[in-house]
Amino acid sequence: MPSVETLLKQDFGSIPELIHQHALERPAHLALAHESRMLSYGELDALMDRVAAAFQRDGLKVGDSIAIAATTSIEYAVTFLGAVRAGVAVAPLAPSSTPESLAAMIADCAAKFVFLDVGVANALSGVELTASRVALDGSNAVGRAWESWVAPPGAQPSAADIAPEGAFNIIYSSGTTGTPKGIVQPYKMRWAHVRRSGEGGYGPECVTLVSTPLYSNTTLVSFFPALTLGGSIVLMSKFEALKYLQLSEKYGVTHAMLVPVQYQRIMDLPEFERFDLKSFRMKYCTSAPFSAELKARVLAKWPGGLVEYYGMTEGGGTCVLLCHMFPNKLHTVGFPAPGHDIRLIDDEGREVPKGEAGEVVGRSPVAMMTGYHNQPGKTADAIWTDPSGNQFIRTGDVGRFDDEGFLTLMDRKKDMIISGGFNIYPSDLEAVLRQHPAVSDVAVVGVPSEAWGETPIAFAVRANDAEATADEIREWANARVGKTQRLTALELVSELPRSAIGKVLKRQLRDKYVAKA
């Protein structure tokens, strides 16, 4: 059988095949750890076979789908990987979704099975599903226990004929701006992620700590590379800043993918300086705005490099900021990755002149979704085509390139406030408000205004022991921004609503304020 190095040189290959090769070469090497449980590569490979064989036994064919809605566990990871070995597409769903939304997503992807734990099962009690239920945690409240469903030890699946364009997984959008859309990512897209991961230093001696949920693309873009290059993965079911540092020190963690709010909580721990983190080689960040100030803090106090990725779950173009190499560019998201084409367009779909702001669109040779599942109209809406006929993914973000080719993001296009005919970017106001010593977190949204069409409103979390009032903070900020940018109101809140990967749910803030007004 070809070596791992030979397999990785192929334009297209199989992630399960790479894991199998690691199992042959180093069967005892740690693959997955979760709490007190350990799984070697040999054990992982054998369990993946049993899962794939179970799917084939139950009649699932290449291209069929399953869904998983549960907290992170070894069974979750093995079920996902075993499905991929059988050529079965996986729809990993957020357990926090409403029962109605979960049922709709399970039906939309035509899942034959849904793998649950007791928490999700209780939420779905009485909800009719189109898929058979399997209990990942063995709970009687769910359905058939995973241990009795999986094929017996020694089971061998038939080889699956997998095409590069076939569906690897279906990632559903958060639904914060409407009904969740199923983003179909093909096998070739995941293979592209794996092939580029060697540049980040992943390898057999690496240890990756996974603290974001397995249903998130943020997690998967580091989870699969870490395994396919033979490293060890430590899984956390739920992120806790102190526990994160304890596990990092215990396992000698070398790689991490965190979202900005996790970096913030870790850096704010009084105990941070006590931990030995010199094992870290590289830390990554994506999925939400990462402030220059926070990047600088991480660089100054946390060993190892720091890389920010900017891109979409839908794929297209990716920007990369090597923070440790460009400390003077921390306000940007870097420059386009090799082979990626990033452009800026106006509302009419024309490229903007150099130096002007526009909506970010991007393309790459292989790392692009095949479309939104069962939604050809929304797929078409997500595409911009250049004069040569090349298709780009529209991001919905507004950005501007500087003279050196670094991209600065200004805001989500939908979050831009148009007040009295002037464009106001919430991120500009948030940056000013974060400079106030009494503000630890903040979000600015636009709400309807009879006088101006829209007007900016701020929601601020007050720093510990701070005594400044909402009016004092608002007046301080208004004295430092342009006349058209002034805040109409500022509310103090205990915390900002966030998704599981740390994105501020601005729609919730906006809707709650408008309803109250």
Last residue of a domain, one of 171, 200, 229: 200
| Residue 205: DSSP 8-state | T
Q: In which region does residue 316 sit, left (phi positive, over 0), alpha (psi from -120 to 50) or beta (all else)?
A: left
Structural domain boundaries enclosing 326: 311-405
Question: What percent of the chain has a predicted confidence (pLDDT) above 70?
Answer: 98
pLDDT score of 23 more than 80: yes
| Integer Cα distance of 268 and 372 in angstroms | 39
351 and 447 co-located in one domain = no
Same domain, 422 and 482: yes
- 398 and 377 both lie in a single domain: yes
Position 228 scores a pLDDT of 93
So what's the pLDDT on residue 198?
A: 66
Q: What is the pLDDT of residue 450?
A: 85
The pLDDT score that the predictor gives to residue 412 is 84
**Whether residues 162 and 36 fall in one domain:** yes
Phi, psi angles (nearest 5°) of residue 392:
-120, 150
Q: Which of 140, 121, 128, 14 is nearest to 68 (CA)?
A: 121
Instruction: Decide if 84 is inside a domain.
Output: yes
Average pLDDT, the chain: 93
Would the pLDDT of 446 be above 90? Answer: yes
Contact residues for 461 (Cβ-Cβ < 8 A; gap 6+)? 439, 440, 441, 442, 492, 493, 494, 495, 496
Q: What's the pLDDT at 261?
A: 87
More confidently predicted of 125 and 93 = 93
Task: Quote the CA–CA distance of 223 and 200 in Å, as a whole number.
Answer: 13
Residue 179: the pLDDT is 65
Name the band, by pLDDT with cuts 50, 70 and 90, for residue 501. confident
| Residues 9, 42 within the same domain | yes
Q: Is residue 162 part of a domain?
A: yes
Q: Are 378 and 496 part of one and the same domain?
A: no
Q: What is the pLDDT of residues 338-355, one digit of tens each?
A: 999 999 999 999 999 989
Give me the percent of the chain exceeding a pLDDT of 90.
Answer: 79
Mean per-residue pLDDT, 197-204: 80
CB 382 within 8 A of CB 396: no
Same domain, 475 and 394: no
Residue 45: predicted pLDDT: 98
Q: Return the higher-pLDDT residue of 201 and 93.
A: 93
What pLDDT is recorded for position 465? Answer: 84
**Residue 187 pLDDT level (bands cut at 50, 70, 90):** very high
For residues 449 and 400, membership in a common domain is answered with: no
Question: What type of residue sits at position 363?
Answer: R
**CATH number, residue 322:** 2.30.38.10
**197 in Cβ contact with 229 (< 8 Å):** yes
For the stretch 404-422, pLDDT in tens is: 999 999 888 888 898 887 7
Report yes or no on 206 lying in a domain: no
Q: Is residue 10 part of a domain?
A: yes
294: which 2 tokens? 């926070």
pLDDT digits (tens, 9 = 90+) for 217-272: 999 999 999 999 999 999 999 999 999 999 999 999 999 999 998 999 999 999 99
Q: What is the pLDDT of residue 176?
A: 41
Cβ neighbors of 388 (< 8 A, separation 6 or more) are: none
pLDDT tens per residue, range 165-177: 999 999 998 644 4
Given a contact cutoff of 8 angstroms between Cβ atoms, the answer to whether 226 and 257 are in contact is: no
- Residue 185's pLDDT is what? 97
Q: How far apart are CA 134 and CA 326, in angstroms?
A: 48
Q: Is 9 helix (H, G, I), strand (E, B) or coil?
A: coil
Kindly report the backbone phi and psi dihedral angles of residue 15, in degrees, each rounded to the nearest multiple of 5, phi listed first. Answer: -60, -45
- In tens, the pLDDT along 456-499 reads 999 999 998 899 999 999 999 999 998 889 999 999 999 999 98
The pTM of the full predicted model, rounded to 2 decimals, is 0.88
Instruction: Report yes or no on 298 lying in a domain.
Output: no
Same domain, 21 and 54: yes
Q: In what order do the strands lie in the sheet with 167-172?
A: 144-145, 132-135, 111-116, 65-69, 89-92, 167-172, 182-186, 371-372
Question: The domain that contains 89 carries what CATH number?
Answer: 3.40.50.980
- What are φ and ψ of residue 164, in 5° steps? -55, -35
Q: Does 226 reside within a domain?
A: no
Task: Provide the pLDDT for residue 20.
Answer: 96
Asked if residue 129 belongs to a domain, the reply is: yes
Among the candidates 405, 430, 450, a domain finishes at 405
Under 8 Å between Cβ of 354 and 336: no
Is residue 254 assigned to a domain?
A: no
Strand partners, 217: none
Q: Nearest 5°: phi and psi at 111?
A: -65, 135
Sign of the dihedral through C-alpha 229, 231, 235, 239: negative
Whether 287 shows a pLDDT value over 90: the answer reads: no
**Count of the separate structural domains present in the chain:** 3
Q: Give me the residues paired with residue 456 across strands.
A: 446
**Final residue in a domain of this structure, among 144, 171, 200:** 200
- CATH number of the CATH domain containing 447: 3.30.300.30
**Residue 462 bridge partners (DSSP):** 439
- Higher per-residue confidence, 431 vs 207: 207
Residues 148 and 36 occupy one common structural domain: yes
With tokens 């859309």, the residue in question is 181
Secondary structure letter of residue 413 according to DSSP: G
Q: What is the pLDDT of residue 1?
A: 67
**Does one domain contain both 170 and 24?**
yes
Same domain? For 320 and 189 the reply is no
Per-residue DSSP letters for 41-65? HHHHHHHHHHHHHHHHHTT--TT-E
Question: Mean per-residue pLDDT for 152-156?
Answer: 97
